[in-house]
A and B are shown apart, each in its own frame.
Chain A
Amino acid sequence: MNAASRKKALRYFFEKVVDPLGYKFSPDTELVEFCLEQEVSLEKKYGIPYCPCKRITDSRSENMKIVCPCIPFHKEHFDAMKRCWCGLFVHKDVTDPDTLMQFPESAVKKG
């Protein structure tokens, strides 16, 4: 399967996974295209479409938490930001993703 076809397949699959979680693809189509391209290349390299903005570690169990869409593993953090870390997905009610900021998980835990 070529990269364009794989990107299309990931998009189809991801949409079905994130919808019941209350998320959708970001309206920032340029960002979505870029992230999906990076995930296709990560999948080609590692066999798994990891988040393009997270460090791949030596721990398989830790790495499983960054397989896209990784929302279930970081729900509290992502819900607080209304987006996932890389911004590929946003809460369904988000219309302007530029207003959403990245902040570390520790900031959520502090309250």
Chain B
Amino acid sequence: MAEKTVKVFALSTCPWCRKAKQFFKDHNIPFEDIEFDQCEGQMQKDALAEMKRYGAGDSFPFVLIGDEPVEGYNPETYCNLLGIER
């Protein structure tokens, strides 16, 4: 079974975004790190469009695990979606 891709949409000012990224690092799960407020112009528009497509509000972190969106830092949900132990 192919591993699910993970994308973390984050703000550089957000402590829970840091925790979310640390969670994936600690579990050796590769992830795409999209630091939203550090993106400019079209890159930021594209990131926002992708978040909105998955039903995001304006809160960070916003994590995509495969096609499943998770708004907020929620290790339990991350584990469930990835099928890993906490």
Contacts and interface: CB of A to CB of B under 8 A. Distances in A.
Contacts of A86: 14-16
A76 interface: no
Given A101-B74, A102-B74, A52 B13 contact: yes
The binding surface of chain B is classed by DSSP as loop
Interface string B18-38: 000000000000000000100
Contacts of A54: 58-60
A101 B48 CA distance: 24
A69 to B, nearest CB: 16
Given A52-B14, A52-B15, A87-B16, A66 B72 contact: no
Contact of B57 (A38, A87, A105): A105
B64 interface: no
Interface string A75-111: 0000000000111000000000000011111100000
A31 interface: yes
Nearest to B17: A53
Given A102-B74, A103-B72, A55 B16 contact: no
Nearest to A85: B59
A55 B72 contact: no
Nearest to A30: B15
Contacts of B59: 53-55, 85, 102, 104-105
B38 to A, nearest CB: 13
B15 to A, nearest CB: 5
For the complex of A and B, the 7 pairs showing the least CB-CB separation, nearest first, are: A102-B72, A52-B13, A38-B13, A104-B71, A55-B58, A53-B14, A34-B15
Given A52-B15, A53-B15, 7 more contacts: A38-B14, A54-B59, A54-B60, A87-B15, A104-B72, A105-B57, A106-B57
